[in-house]
Amino acid sequence: MNRPAPVEDSPEHAWQRARELLLARFGPEVYRAGIEGLQFAGADDHVLRLLAPTSTAANWMRLHYPGSLEEALKSIGRPRRIDILVAGRAQGELFPGEQAIGKRKPIRFGALVPRYTFSTFIVGASNQFANAACKAVAAQPGHHYNPLFLYGGVGLGKTHLANAIGHAAMEGNPDARVAYLSAEAFMTQLITALRRDRMDEFKSTFRKIDVLIIDDVQFLANRERTQEEFFHTFNALHEAHRQIILTSDKVPKDIPGLEERLRNRFEWGLIADLQPPDMETRVAILEKKAEIDGLDLPREVAIHLASKIDSNVRELEGCLTRLSAFASLSKTAITVDFAREVLHDLLKERSTVSIETIQRVVCEYYGVRLSDLLSQKRSRNIAFPRQVGMYLSRRLARASFPAIGERFGGRDHSTVIHANKVVEDRLKTDQRLRGSLDELERLANTKA
Ligand code: ADP
Ligand code: MG
């Protein structure tokens, strides 16, 4: 990318003019040896900061032509002290060691998690769309869907996919500057820069990024200063066709305390959601993980685990880790009975109300026949109880959207998502509904 020309009379511009003077005065050889590598890195009223690739480069002019840099600034009416930082030692630098001119170093900020790649990500109906969007973005960063906004519940693979894009983008272009950081880390960087009076550096560094991945942007809620800075960073990168990837546990409009203009930006590109994986996908995830860990996991054990935990892949993996630890300590083969025993405590807590129970109490409560509840009838006195049933199945039975759809007369998972939304929206205004839901929950628990 071409750097935008510094504004006339900005400190950066002053440094550029000083360099020209130095070139004229000392000639190209001295210029190349001692000046060319010094990159403008910020300034305030008293100090102009430069960045040198090595400490030799930082000291070269001082050694051979002491005072000449300051003199050059003075002669263009900018008397300032000059601080030369050595790249890599500067605090909070995103790309330490990058050469001043021309060269790019593919140093990542905040390491990507090595095992979070596309090849270790299992694709099923619940994440197929998000996975495809991520692959498209990784293949041609900045070309499609900018920003790409990934959202979904806890432990459903947002961080994994975001990292996978980073890895693939670097494979596609080893020079790509990929920055992966949580929204929280972004804020920490910002605060550090503010405290050290290094905002110029902060800005210029972030604006050099080719692929910026910010994880868990819901964390920006109510952080006005961070939002403002992020807004500017976003705009600068977006304008330059750099790729931005954001993840969140909510869609932009549901993130409370998010400035309207940021929300608006977040909705510019593509929003892709991750849903809880269905049974087959959960089994495949477990088997993949077992394979990676070199664990001998019989199919029926994988099915047993997958049937017990249906909403959160991280918990699923947690069970597997625990099982594997117990098996290797007790030198026992992993069987379903063994899994039951080892995971007893973990799984007991989640012994939940079944979908059948929920359907039964919903029917009793609203005076609807079960056959009608599961039918295709759409009259309101049936459709709403059905939506309530789906909503409660999500919360109390912790079932996945496709699983719920399946059990409610073979409906599509999008119908279940819609039902959830209908109930959630109504809850915002309808106090009586809250009371009904509490009562239904109580009934379901007593009948479970
Ligand atoms: P999130 O960021 O959405 O909370 P993570 O990306 O941290 O979730 O995923 C939690 C764990 O589950 C990670 O170890 C991740 O590798 C794993 N995981 C989630 N979805 C999948 C998947 N489809 N295939 C393989 N592993 C997955
Ligand atoms: Mg995450």
Give tens-digit pLDDT for 326-339.
888 888 889 998 99
Structure tokens given for 230: 């992020």
Q: Do 173 and 299 share a domain, yes or no?
A: no
* Closest ligand 1 atom number to CA of residue 288: 25
pLDDT recorded at residue 106: 47
Q: Do 27 and 139 share a domain, yes or no?
A: no
Query: Residue with structure tokens 């080719």?
Result: 210
pLDDT recorded at residue 1: 40
pLDDT recorded at residue 331: 87
Residues 390, 408 contacting (CB under 8 angstroms): yes
* Closest ligand 1 atom number to CA of residue 156: 3
C-alpha distance from residue 225 to each of 229, 260, 340 (Å): 6, 14, 50
Omega cis (within 30) before 141: no
Q: Do 265 and 287 share a domain, yes or no?
A: no
Q: Phi and psi at residue 7, in whole multiples of 5°?
A: -65, 140
The CATH number for 283's domain is 1.10.8.60
Q: How far is the CA of 160 from the centre of ligand 2 (A)?
A: 7
The CA-CA-CA angle for residues 275, 279, 282, to 5°, reads 75
Distance from C-alpha of 294 to C-alpha of 324, rounded to nearest angstrom: 10
pLDDT recorded at residue 16: 86
Distance from C-alpha of 285 to C-alpha of 277, rounded to nearest angstrom: 9
pLDDT tens digits along 24-49 = 888 777 888 888 888 887 887 788 88
Q: Do 190 and 291 share a domain, yes or no?
A: no
Structure tokens given for 312: 């959160």
Which H or E run contains 81?
Answer: strand 81-86
Q: Count the residues in the chain.
A: 448
Q: Do 204 and 61 share a domain, yes or no?
A: no
pLDDT recorded at residue 259: 93
* Ranges 50-54, 134-138, 253-257, most confident: 134-138
In terms of phi and psi (left: phi > 0; alpha: psi -120 to 50; beta: otherwise), the region of 276 is: beta
- Residue whose CA lies nearest to ligand 1 atom number 20: 157
Q: Do 265 and 283 share a domain, yes or no?
A: no
pLDDT recorded at residue 271: 95
Distance from C-alpha of 217 to C-alpha of 249, rounded to nearest angstrom: 8
Number of domains forming the structure of the chain: 4
- Other Cβ atoms closer than 10 A to 373: 20
Residue 21: pLDDT over 70 = yes
| Stronger pLDDT, 107 or 224, i.e. the higher one | 224
Q: What is the mean pLDDT of the chain?
A: 87
Is 439 among the domain residues? yes
Q: Which residues contact 234 (CB under 8 A, 6 or more apart)?
A: 147, 244, 262, 265
Q: Do 311 and 269 share a domain, yes or no?
A: no
Residue 352: pLDDT over 80 = no
The CATH number for 196's domain is 3.40.50.300
Which H or E run contains 149?
Answer: strand 148-152
Q: How far is the CA of 295 from the centre of ligand 1 (A)?
A: 19
Per-residue burial over 235-245, b if 16 or more Cβ lie within 10 Å, else e, is ebbbeeebbbb
Q: Which residues contact 31 (CB under 8 A, 6 or more apart)?
A: 19, 22, 23
Instruction: Write down which residue in 240, 255, 274 finishes a domain.
Output: 274
Strands (E), 162-210: 178-182
Pairing of strands 81-86, 211-215: unpaired
Mutation to probe ligand 1, out of 116, 156, 216 (largest number of atoms < 8 A from CB): 156
Q: Do 283 and 270 share a domain, yes or no?
A: no
Is 254 among the domain residues? yes
Q: How far is the CA of 158 from the centre of ligand 2 (A)?
A: 5
Nearest to 318 by CA among 294, 286, 350: 286
Q: Do 40 and 153 share a domain, yes or no?
A: no
* Closest ligand 1 atom number to CA of residue 121: 24
DSSP 70: H
Pick from 28-32, 58-62, 90-94, 338-342: least confident? 90-94
Mutation to probe ligand 1, out of 314, 315, 316, 320 (largest number of atoms < 8 A from CB): 314
pTM: 0.62
pLDDT tens digits along 378-390 = 999 999 999 999 9
pLDDT recorded at residue 351: 53
Is 349 among the domain residues? no
Residue 51: pLDDT over 90 = no
Is 245 among the domain residues? yes
Residues 80, 12 contacting (CB under 8 angstroms): no
Mean per-residue pLDDT, 307-325: 88
Distance from C-alpha of 35 to C-alpha of 41, rounded to nearest angstrom: 14
The CA-CA-CA angle for residues 176, 53, 55, to 5°, reads 155
* Closest ligand 1 atom number to CA of residue 274: 3
Nearest to 424 by CA among 438, 434, 439: 434
Q: Is the dihedral of CA 246, 134, 281, 278 positive or negative?
A: positive
The CATH number for 79's domain is 3.30.300.180
Is 2 among the domain residues? no
Pairing of strands 39-43, 47-52: antiparallel
Q: Do 300 and 157 share a domain, yes or no?
A: no
- Residue whose CA lies nearest to ligand 1 atom number 9: 157
Give the pLDDT band of residue 59 (cuts 50, 70, 90): confident
Residue 108: pLDDT over 50 = no
Q: Do 127 and 186 share a domain, yes or no?
A: yes
Per-residue burial over 347-358, b if 16 or more Cβ lie within 10 Å, else e, is beeeebbbbebb
Q: Do 292 and 269 share a domain, yes or no?
A: no
Is 296 among the domain residues? yes
Residues of the chain above pLDDT 90, percent: 52
Q: How far is the CA of 314 from the centre of ligand 1 (A)?
A: 6
pLDDT tens digits along 248-293 = 999 999 898 999 999 999 999 999 999 999 999 999 999 999 999 8
pLDDT tens digits along 155-179 = 999 999 999 999 999 999 988 899 9
Mean per-residue pLDDT, 71-75: 87
Question: Nearest bound ligand to CA 286?
Answer: 1
The CATH number for 416's domain is 1.10.1750.10
- Other Cβ atoms closer than 10 A to 47: 13
Distance from C-alpha of 94 to C-alpha of 207, rounded to nearest angstrom: 11
Give the pLDDT band of residue 105 (cuts 50, 70, 90): low
Helices (H), 247-298: 260-266, 279-292
Give the pLDDT band of residue 109 (cuts 50, 70, 90): low
Which amino acids bring their CB within 6 angstroms of ligand 1?
Answer: 116, 120-122, 127, 152, 154-160, 285, 313-314, 317
pLDDT recorded at residue 5: 63
DSSP 293: T
Is 1 among the domain residues? no
Mean per-residue pLDDT, 59-78: 83
Q: How far is the CA of 121 from the centre of ligand 1 (A)?
A: 8
Query: What residues are neighbours of ligand 2 (ion), with CB under 5 Å?
Result: 158-159
* Closest ligand 1 atom number to CA of residue 131: 23
Is 61 among the domain residues? yes
Residue 431: domain span: 355-447
Distance from C-alpha of 310 to C-alpha of 248, rounded to nearest angstrom: 20
Long-range contacts of 334-343 (CB under 8 A, 24+ apart): 334/295, 334/296, 334/297, 334/298, 334/301, 335/298, 335/301, 336/298, 336/300, 336/301, 336/304, 339/301, 339/304, 339/305, 340/304, 343/305, 343/308, 343/319
